[in-house]
Amino acid sequence: MTLNRLLSKPPASDFQQVNTFYFLEEDGFELDANYEPSDEDEQEIPILAGQYIALETGTISLNYYCKDCDNTRTFNSDEKQGLHGIAVSRQMVSIDCVLKCVCGAVVHVWYLVEAECDFRNQSPKIRILHFREKLSEGVKLQSEQYGKFAEWLEKANRANRDGLGSGAVIYLRKVFESITYDIAKTNNISTTYENGNRRKFNKILQEVNEKHAIIPATFSENGYELFSELSKIIHGDGSEEDALKYFGALRTLVTGVLDNIKQKDELRDAVQQFNWTTN
pLDDT digits (tens, 9 = 90+) for 148-189: 788 888 889 888 878 888 889 889 989 988 888 988 988 889
- Phi, psi values for residue 235, rounded to 5°: -90, 10
C-alpha dist (Å) from residue 179 to 63, 87, 173, 195: 26, 45, 10, 24
Which region, left, alpha or beta, applies to residue 213 given φ > 0 means left and ψ of -120 to 50 means alpha?
left
Q: Higher-confidence residue: 145 or 249?
A: 249
Residue 145 confidence (pLDDT) above 70: no
The confidence band for 124, taking pLDDT boundaries of 50, 70 and 90, is: very high
97 membership: H or E segment, kind and range: strand 92-100
What angle, rounded to 10 degrees, do the helices at 240-262 and 165-186 form?
30
**Among 139, 131, 80, 79, which Cα is nearest to 104's?**
139
Contact 147, 274 (CB under 8 A): yes
Give dist(CA 132, CA 153) in Å, integer: 16
- The percent of residues above 90 in pLDDT, for the chain, comes to 22
pTM, full prediction: 0.62
Give dist(CA 131, CA 111) in Å, integer: 5
**Among 93, 86, 131, which Cα is nearest to 114's?**
93
Longest dimension (CA), the chain: 81
**Among 147, 151, 153, 210, which Cα is nearest to 176's?**
153
37-70 pLDDT tens trace: 555 444 455 667 888 888 988 999 998 888 898 8
173 membership: H or E segment, kind and range: helix 165-186
**Among 209, 191, 208, which Cα is nearest to 200's?**
191
The confidence band for 221, taking pLDDT boundaries of 50, 70 and 90, is: low
Give dist(CA 171, CA 230) in Å, integer: 10
- The percent of residues above 70 in pLDDT, for the chain, comes to 78
pLDDT, average across residues 117-127 = 91
- Phi, psi values for residue 87, rounded to 5°: -70, 130
Coil, helix or strand at residue 87: strand
Q: Cβ of 166: how many Cβ atoms within 10 Å?
A: 17
Give dist(CA 273, CA 278) in Å, integer: 11
Overall residue count recorded for the chain in this entry: 279
What one-character DSSP code corresponds to residue 220? G
Residue-range domain boundaries for the chain = 3-140, 147-272
The least confident of 21-30, 82-91, 101-110, 163-172 is: 21-30
Q: Cβ of 12: how many Cβ atoms within 10 Å?
A: 11
Q: Which is it for strands 29-30 and 25-26: parallel, antiparallel or unpaired?
A: antiparallel
